[in-house]
């Protein structure tokens, strides 16, 4: 949720068809004064060291790092290898049967930062802004099975604009596949700003990582598809179909490092949880997401999450439209769609996550 440049962004999403064929969220900020990717001695290749990859995707804990290596194909096309765990402390299986689709969004986010640092010379201290994020998948492609989840992400970059020797902005299209099967397609548009410019723009908000943010009471975890209150990001509100955003700044995955605003992945999780709460009696598996990040969501002011049903549209299943509203202005919007797993026979259990 970072507004640095234009509020408009156009992102094309490749459709995952029958044959197997995604505003703004800051993806992350490194520490100002860190070494630049262009100055690093180690190239990023498949099999790169976990420590090196943690730096480039801004994830301090190895279990939260999904890319395992990067190969340049052309000046604007890349292949990223990745691995999804069969169980994760936060991105845990849905209904004990499916990989969490938000792994798609997080893998896209980390892949984007990896390429920007390693191939476009973006310093580790710079801020990334994600203006839109979209992906499309299918439930049967996310069934866990017995094989390991080694994934390849094909990335194509376009509309590349430079900022000096670094990157100003670019659009990305991503195709995730595994063992010859397309898992998902998606895309997004990012812009980058220097650490100094970011501090100027944010002003007094740059001190927020040191502030104490009150932890609101959680809704019942089972109503939002969770088993642990620690992972609940919604608090009760008076209006129907509305919740208050609940922030636990000590959460090991959602707040893996100090942040002066609400991270984008937390807003996506809030959207997923609100969609589940608005769909009682069934498991909500967000196989399709279209998200627009419109402005920062600040840590120190109330933010309301609103949910409205969305009907099926042609080949697209029904879903839920989410708005995050702060200071009476929409800060984030998202449409999530889910298949009816009861009709497909792919689920007969309540969602279980930890």
Q: Looking at residue 3, what is its pLDDT?
A: 28
Burial class (CB in 10 A: 0-12, 13-18, 19+), 44: buried
Nearest to 106 by CA among 59, 71, 74: 59
Q: Looking at residue 115, what is its pLDDT?
A: 96
Q: What pLDDT tens digit does each residue of the chain (354 aa) get?
A: 332 222 222 222 233 333 333 344 544 433 222 333 333 334 565 556 778 888 899 898 999 999 999 999 999 999 999 999 999 999 999 988 999 999 999 999 999 999 999 999 999 888 888 889 999 999 999 999 989 999 999 999 999 999 888 898 999 999 999 999 999 999 999 999 888 888 888 876 655 555 678 999 999 999 999 999 999 999 999 999 999 999 999 999 999 878 889 999 999 999 999 999 999 989 999 999 999 999 989 999 999 999 999 999 888 899 999 999 999 999 999 999 999 887 655 654 433 333
Neighbours of 99 (CB within 10 A): 24
C-alpha 192/C-alpha 82 separation (Å) is 24
C-alpha 165/C-alpha 64 separation (Å) is 30
82 bridge partner residues: 67, 151
Q: For the sheet with 319-326, list strands across it.
A: 67-72, 77-84, 149-163, 166-178, 181-193, 127-137, 288-293, 329-337, 319-326, 304-310, 242-245, 234-236
309 bridge partner residues: 320
C-alpha 231/C-alpha 175 separation (Å) is 29
Task: Quote the pTM value.
Answer: 0.84
Q: Are strands 242-245 and 77-84 parallel, antiparallel or unpaired?
A: unpaired
CB-CB contact of 217 with 229 (8 Å): no
CB-CB contact of 307 with 245 (8 Å): no
Q: Looking at residue 257, what is its pLDDT?
A: 78
Which 3-state string (H, E, C) describes the chain? CCCCCCCCCCCCCCCCCCCCCCCCECCCECCCCCCEHHHCCCCCCCCCCHHHHHHHHCCCCHHHCCEEEEEECCCCEEEEEEEECCCCCCCCCECCCECCCHHHHHHHHHHHHHHHHHHHCCECCCEEEEEEEEEEECHHHHECCCCCEEEEEEEEEEEEEEECCEEEEEEEEEEEEECCEEEEEEEEEEEEECHHHHHHHHHHHHHHHHCCCCCCCCCCHHHHCCCCHHHCCEEECCCCCEEEECCCCCCCCCCCCCCCCCCHHHHHHHHHHHHHHCCCCCCCCCCEEEEEECCCCCCCCCCEEEEEEECCECCECCEEEEEEEECCEEEEEEEEECCCHHHHCCCCCCCCCC
C-alpha 227/C-alpha 100 separation (Å) is 14
**Phi/psi at 167 (5° precision):** -105, 135
CB-CB contact of 296 with 25 (8 Å): no
């Amino acid at each position: 949720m970072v507004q640095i440049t234009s509020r408009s962004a156009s992102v094309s999403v490749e459709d995952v068809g029958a044959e197997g064929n995604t505003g703004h969220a800051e993806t992350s900020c490194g520490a100002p004064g860190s070494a630049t990717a262009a100055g690093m001695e180690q190239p990023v290749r498949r099999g790169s060291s976990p420590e090196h990859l943690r730096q480039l995707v801004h994830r301090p804990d190895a279990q939260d790092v999904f890319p395992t290596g990067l190969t340049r194909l052309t000046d604007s096309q890349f292949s990223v290898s990745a691995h999804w765990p069969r169980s994760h402390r936060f991105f845990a299986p849905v209904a004990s049967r499916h990989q969490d689709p938000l792994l798609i969004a997080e893998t896209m986010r980390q892949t984007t930062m990896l390429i920007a640092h390693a191939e476009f010379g973006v310093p580790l201290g710079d801020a990334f802004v994600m203006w839109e994020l979209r992906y499309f998948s299918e439930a049967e492609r996310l069934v866990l099975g017995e094989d390991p989840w080694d994934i390849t992400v094909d990335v194509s970059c376009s509309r590349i604009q430079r900022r000096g020797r670094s990157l100003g902005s670019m659009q990305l299209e991503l195709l995730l596949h595994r063992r010859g099967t397309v898992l998902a397609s998606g895309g997004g548009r990012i812009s980058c700003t220097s650490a100094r410019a970011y501090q100027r723009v944010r002003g007094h908000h740059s001190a927020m990582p040191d502030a104490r943010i009150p932890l609101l009471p959680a809704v019942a975890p089972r109503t939002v598809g969770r088993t642990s209150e620690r992972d609940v990001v919604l608090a009760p509100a008076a209006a129907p179909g509305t919740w208050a955003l609940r922030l636990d700044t000590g959460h090991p995955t959602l707040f893996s490092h100090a942040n002066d605003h609400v991270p984008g992945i937390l807003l996506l999780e809030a959207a997923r949880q609100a969609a589940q709460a608005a769909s009682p009696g069934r498991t909500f598996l967000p196989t399709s997401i279209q998200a627009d990040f419109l402005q920062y969501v600040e840590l120190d002011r109330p933010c309301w999450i609103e949910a409205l049903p969305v009907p099926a549209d042609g080949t697209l299943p029904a879903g839920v439209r989410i708005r995050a509203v702060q200071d009476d202005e929409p800060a984030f919007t998202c449409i999530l769609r889910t298949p009816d797993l009861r009709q497909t026979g792919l689920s007969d259990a309540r969602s279980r996550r930890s």
